[in-house]
């Protein structure tokens, strides 16, 4: 399943959201979120905000209005 997950993101330069991935994989968002967190932790994915900036380095993640409205996107590390 992780291979399918990573292949979805291979050609997505602007990444994909949790809900886009969940819909395409026909999986519950909570299950997909767990995989996303694991892959971010392992350095395979990067979380980016809707504005394309890396969320982890921003420091304002808890107060971000863009994230509240549109959510994070995930891209493959290069």
For residue range 47-77, list pLDDT tens digits in order: 877 655 666 566 655 666 556 556 778 888 8
Topology annotation, domain 2-76: Arc Repressor Mutant, subunit A (1.10.10)
Confidence at residue 41, expressed as pLDDT on a 0 to 100 scale = 92
Separation between Cα atoms, residue 14 and residue 50, nearest integer Å: 9
Phi, psi of 27 (to 5 degrees): -130, 155
| Token duo for residue 7 | 């292949």
Give domain limits for the chain. 2-76
Of the listed ranges 22-31, 39-48, 69-78, the least confidently predicted one is 69-78
Confidence at residue 73, expressed as pLDDT on a 0 to 100 scale = 82
Separation between Cα atoms, residue 2 and residue 26, nearest integer Å: 14
Cβ atoms within 10 Å of 22's Cβ, excluding its own: 18
Overall average pLDDT of the 10-29 stretch: 87
Q: Is the pTM of this model over 0.75?
A: no
**DSSP label of 44:** S
Overall average pLDDT of the 18-30 stretch: 91
């Amino acid at each position: 399943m992780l291979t399918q997950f990573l292949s979805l993101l291979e050609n997505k330069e602007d990444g994909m959201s949790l809900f886009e991935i969940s819909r395409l994989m026909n999986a519950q968002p909570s299950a997909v979120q767990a995989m996303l967190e694991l892959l971010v932790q392992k350095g395979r994915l990067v979380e980016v905000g809707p504005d394309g900036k890396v969320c982890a380095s921003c420091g304002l993640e808890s107060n971000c209005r863009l994230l509240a409205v549109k959510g994070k996107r995930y891209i493959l590390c290069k």
